[in-house]
Amino acid sequence: MWSSLWDAMWLFLSFFAFMAYLFALFNVIGDLFRDRKLNGWWKALWIIFLVFVPLLAVLVYLIARGRGMAERNRKDSQQARDAASQYIREVAGDSPAKEIAKAKSLLDSGAISPQEYKAFKAKVLS
pLDDT in tens, 42-77: 999 999 999 999 999 999 999 999 999 999 999 999
Residue 46: name the closest of 23, 17, 25 by CA.
25
What are the angstrom distances between the C-alpha of 40 and each of 3, 32, 37, 61? 50, 10, 9, 16
What are the angstrom distances between the C-alpha of 23 and each of 1, 44, 52, 58, 113? 34, 20, 18, 11, 61
Number of other residues whose CB lies within 10 A of the CB of residue 61: 21
**For 1-8, what is the mean pLDDT?**
76
Helix (H, G, I), strand (E, B) or coil at 4: helix
The reported pLDDT for the residue numbered 2 is 58
The reported pLDDT for the residue numbered 60 is 95
Is residue 25 scored above 70 in pLDDT? yes
The reported pLDDT for the residue numbered 28 is 94
Give this prediction's pTM: 0.61
Predicted confidence band at 96 (pLDDT cuts at 50, 70, 90)?
confident
The reported pLDDT for the residue numbered 125 is 81
The reported pLDDT for the residue numbered 103 is 87
